Amino acid sequence: MSLPGTLTRTALQLPGTTNVYHGKVRDVYTLADGRLVLVATDRISAFDVILPRGIPFKGQVLTQLSWHMLQATKDVVPNWAEAMPDPQVIVGRACEPIKIEMVVRGHLTGHAWRTYRAGHRTLCGAPLPEGLREHDELPEPIITPSTKADEGHDEDITPDEILARGLCTAEEWDTLSRYALALFARGRQLARERGLILVDTKYEFGRHEGRILLIDEVHTPDSSRYFHLEGYSERQERGEPQQQLSKEFVREWLMEHGFMGKEGQAVPEMDDAFVQRVSERYIGLYEQLTGQRFLPSDTGDIQARIQQALAGLLTGQE
């Protein structure tokens, strides 16, 4: 049985397009009327490298989950999104991106654990207490920002360095920090209601007519890490690995096959079975986190489907 079709690149014909940007996962179309069309492709990246094969339904999962979360957090923080005309497309207000990724961590996991294990007790200026084990909950969530790189690797940065580089003003930093922690608190609440723990996540923000808005995705498996709530404490007590719902297992698979995104390393071959497994993981997280059954969209010609959906919206005939 062949795998469903995937969308790995778009070339949409949208009236009034002034700029097209192809990111690691998303293709972004800026329109002359001040709107942004964000298309979540089925590309997958790890270690800041786009992997050679698309993941069936990944773009749909990311878009529908992000839309769900944007609606569930808009009373906490204003966001950019206005419509979801296709399961892989969100249309909203074009913002001037703030070149900072606001990473919020509630547990000592992933990059934070690797830093801690190496003997460091601060991360991006945030203190890390002694005596912690991998995956332990931190006394309180911390913000560990990174620079938002257009290409290549994002880099850790401290709040003082952010202000020194002029990436935002002190007042904006206060707003970004407040927004990020409020979003994380809501994300934790939503996750717990669905039997999950929001471990860490990243948020991106932009400026729009004098306001700071949440942009891009929110609380998706590409931007967030989740643990299963049931059995978490027992696994920690026994020193066992936590059950994760995130993209981390893709990174772990790549590391097991000798790839960490370093120069000269070849991306290991992703066979059909692995691609299918990744797709099922994404769908499983969507269903657990939303409590809704995933309904696959037609994958025969995804770009044509999107083009048709946008034609109605952009001409006011949706």
**Structure confidence by residue, pLDDT tens digits, 220-238:** 888 899 999 999 999 999 9
Domains within the chain, CATH numbers bracketed: 17-95+270-314 (3.30.200.20), 97-245 (3.30.470.20)
pLDDT band at 316 (very low <50, low <70, confident <90, very high): low
Average model confidence (pLDDT) across the chain: 93
Number of helices and strands in the chain (H, E) = 8, 17
pLDDT for res 315:
65
- pLDDT for 143 equals 98
**Confidence label for 278 from pLDDT (cuts 50, 70 and 90):** very high
Model's pTM, two decimal places? 0.89
- Residues 6+ positions from 21 with CB-CB distance below 8 Å: 27, 28, 30
* Res. 87: pLDDT tops 60: yes
Average pLDDT over residues 67-83: 97
Total residues belonging to the chain: 318
Q: If pLDDT is split at 50, 70 and 90, which confidence band does 318 have?
A: very low
Residue reference for tokens 């990311």: 62
The rounded distance, in Å, linking the Cα atoms of 49 and 264 is 13
CA distance 114 to 29: 37
Tokens of 156: 């850790």
Where helices occur in 5-78 by DSSP H, the ranges are 58-73
